[in-house]
Amino acid sequence: MPSTKRRLFGLDRSGPLPRETRKGAPLHPWTIPNLVGYARLAALPVFCLLAFSSHDGRTAVSSLLYLAITLGDYVDGFLARATGQYSRMGALLDPVVDRLAVLAGAAVCWHFELLPRWALAILAAREVITLVLSQMALRRGLDIEVNWIGRIGVFLVFGGIFWTLVLDWEILEVAFVAGVAISVAATIVYARAHLGPHPAPSARPPARS
């Protein structure tokens, strides 16, 4: 697949972030990708209402809605790359919606005991910590960049939650727990790489006369 297609489909994420997404750039809230983000955000309370009002958390409508919310993260990224409509608002909005989507799915699974509650508790703590770290990074002028470890973890977490809302398979618990562990590792890697103390510049020996 040519490099341009790999980048379009999100397979090639090399190179710097688009300048439109960096700190100090205009928000540009009204773009096509951002509209997808707003729709995802608006769909979250609807999902919670439908899921919590069911008898077991597993309804076709709520499960499909959760799938649409999670896939929307890929859709708005694809649209941004396809149209070139990058924006600072999108860079700030997407991680927040992702965190809220995870917490909403985890809350439903907790309420109906669909997944191990200890793993859900760790996941919820990780999501809150990630939000705090993101705020710290923004205050220090750092851009939020998701590493590949985090993407794998998010894929397993979202997949584990969605399929648990559809099926009752023990293998889904294993995949979900693995996703939680990988996501925690990604958070630690991010915190150490971007928010840790900066090493002091090494002292150079005095020049000989």
Domain ranges of the chain: 16-193
CA neighbor of 187 nearest in space, from 129, 100, 120, 108? 129
**What span, in angstroms and rounded, lies between the C-alpha atoms of 158 and 175?**
10
**What span, in angstroms and rounded, lies between the C-alpha atoms of 18 and 143?**
11
pLDDT at 204: 45
pLDDT at 126: 92
Q: What angle do CA 94, 100, 101 make, to 5 degrees?
A: 85
pLDDT at 132: 82
pLDDT at 207: 42
pLDDT at 201: 44
What CATH fold (topology level) applies to the domain 16-193? Four Helix Bundle (Hemerythrin (Met), subunit A) (1.20.120)
**What span, in angstroms and rounded, lies between the C-alpha atoms of 47 and 168?**
19
pLDDT at 148: 80
CA neighbor of 31 nearest in space, from 95, 91, 85, 74? 85
pLDDT below 50 — which residues of the chain?
1, 199-209
Both structure tokens of 90: 């999108």
**What span, in angstroms and rounded, lies between the C-alpha atoms of 19 and 133?**
22
Question: pLDDT tens, 55-74?
Answer: 999 999 999 999 999 999 99
pLDDT at 1: 45
- Could you tell me the pTM of the whole model? 0.84
